Structure 1
Amino acid sequence: MSQTGGANVAVILKGWPRLSETFIAQEIAGLEARGIALELWSMRRPTDKARHPVHDRVRGRVTYLPEYLKDEPGRVFTAWLKARRLPGYAAARAKFHADLERDRTSNRVRRWGQALVLAAELPPSIERLYAHFLHTPASVTRYAATMRGLPWSVSAHAKDIWTSDDWDAREKLDDCDWLVTCTNVGLQRLKELAADPAKLRLVYHGLDFAHLPAPPPARPPRDGSDPRDPVVILSVGRKVEKKGYDDLLDALASLPADLHWCFEHVGAGSLSDALKARAASLGIADRCVWHGGQPQKQVFAALARADLFVLASKKAADGDQDGLPNVLMEAAHQGLPLVSTQAAAIGEFIEDGRTGLLVPPAAPRELGLALGRMIVDPALRQLLAQRAGEVVRTRFSYEAGVEWIASALRGQRSESTVAARAAE
């Protein structure tokens, strides 16, 4: 046990640090503050040039697994020599071969190699493994935990729930000690696959209010009538299909010509060039500002200068979809009114007409009408923003969720509480 009285836990991550996964860094910092001794094991090295302040609050040692086995063959071979002598190696190998029969991909082999390294290099003080995401991080974690004979747990989020094969998710749900997920819609999906739903717990990410800037003072009552003072529309999110930025650009282009607005976007992503080209073809490129990926300080600066926040989430062609994006809660905390879609779990936070405006996903016309309504009515923006801020402050603090996870990592979770919550 650690000197602070907490468990010694290895956290397995896709990448560390990542600008787009502030919610994970926030949780890790909160667990450390509650006395949990953590080590971070990342499957990828960082690609973002900047860091958020929350990353600097995390003190746990970070170890990078070989992202591609061919890059560190000596390390992988040495790990195999050590791992094959572990008492759970044969059982882990059997699980890997059974998975490989159904998923004959190099990706599956890579996860086995990463698991060998993880199992071989974990210090003997580690008492539990904890994976963020049910897909590839949980695969690595499952194999390594089996080799080491350790309990393991997992936090499931969005893409990992909706794009994992049913058989893969079922076997991980059977093997893990417990699972938390951040939306009720995700919980219900996993309950369909779990032999023991009592293992599952709904834990909203929420916000760590103590480390957020105070909301700015009252915003100016812009109404889109002054070309010298346009309404500032902001969105923050990765430029990927499920965020619906193609629909948002179409919606912006449909706004009446006499409305004066500008659009700002913060976030990186593979569709950057395509979206800029789309804005140009729609004739609105001169009203769009693309900031790219930014650290948290710049994100909150953008929230402070905006009048309206929009997120046009939808289901991607491969089934990927959002959970409940934390950025919606951050925007509400900063006093911004919200326009979004009825996709995924967004309706678990925004109530249409009361705490924001919701439209169907992949519906640019309806989205344009909602944006137009908000642009011309600063009083409506103020009312909806006030209500959304109250909901964030009363229902979406992250304290209770992190407390539960900390207790569970210590092996102190209440089975009756889990079973009751899973039955909701």
Structure 2
Amino acid sequence: MTQRYDQKEWDVVIIGAGIAGLTASIYLARAGQSVLVLDKGANPGGRAMSNEMAESRVNLGGHALYKSALPILREVGVEPAGGTPKTTGAFVFKQADGSNKVLPLGQLLLGSFLKWQEKTQLLRFYAKLRKIDAAALHKVRLQDYLASELSSTRVRNAVLALVRVATYCDAPQLLSAGAVVEQLGQAQVMYVDGGWQSLVNRLTEQALQAGVSIRPRSLAREVGGSAPSMTVELKDGTRLTARRVISTAGPAETLALLSPSLTAAEAAIYERLVPVRAACLDLVVSGMPQPKTRFVLGADYPWYYSNHSAVASLSDNPAREVVHVMKYLPVSNETDPAQDERELEGFLDLIQPGWRKHVVQRRFLPRMLVSHAVADAASGGLSGRPGTAVQGRPGMYVAGDWVGPSGMLLNASLASAREAARCIIDGEDTVKEGMHRGA
């Protein structure tokens, strides 16, 4: 399909061809808007792209798709294929003598590691989880909430391990308990056949079919004006005109684009956001020494191990498997990447002794960006995140994992992309900017 970049004015220019940008573009183009999507990379995808490694499709760290994201994906013509990992797994606990113990989930509940009172605490907590009023906990720190509910340190750490895998965040001192309760109540996850690149490819196809133009290697440098007369200047000097603009870049990157800059008060909601990162060791292996060990979490450590090939098709070679190992990093980012890599290798030595002989190809990503914002209690959880409309700049919108009151991670990206598109289609530039719908 021939794409044009030279038309005099676009209805909407979208900065970023990741999942949020592509999703918004499809809604807009189907509503009759002329849409240009800019991306600084050579190909669409952003953090959702997968790389070819040893005949396998390998995501940038371990990605899991919550099935609650499927309705929006289906609306834009994407039906992911893949498998749901089993709920069995194991935890790593640190014992009193300093050694580590790998404990299967079944033994946690049935064995002697936990006392009877601790098992009762854990079971009661999960029994009441779906009955909890999450709205009442949005301004409560997860750390404080768990301390009030669970007196056992070991039980709290087991719960925190499940929180980390659900949110990819190791910041209980910041996280909103209400946001966590909502996230833990989400439906099952799936690992996507072909990696997340298959989602990107399908979204790109749907966007092009709807008439969207996608311009690669086009780094936006400045966004000026306001609706209905806005400009987007590229690094190469190209100047584009548009009636509306959506940025799917991060909050700091978006602020840097705006000319003139937002006032200090307007910018504050973006500047306070704290990003979430992980150290990721991605492996393509020829089997593993302990093939039945497919999923392990650190209880006393922020560790994650999962064999994604156990349920998803990720390689052309049936003898190859894709394994992801991660360390959820503290929000202070005060860690040594070399030490983080050694720590993950030691984790593998514990649960998969002899794993190095099975590695076909490996990649270490020391500070992979997982999300642009912790859903923090101080701001009121999810409802405290920036809305899709930018205060002080009519016609400027944002979308991404840090925007809007709905969901975390990919779910937030999809929901905010749809909402930004809806606002433009409905002509809601007169809505109070910076507030999400219903605020």
Does the pair score TM above 0.5? no
**Structure with more helix by fraction:** 1
Q: RCO greater where, 1 or 2, for CA within 8 Å and sep 6 or more?
A: 2
TM-score, structure 1 normalization: 0.32
User: Which one has the bigger strand percentage?
Assistant: 2
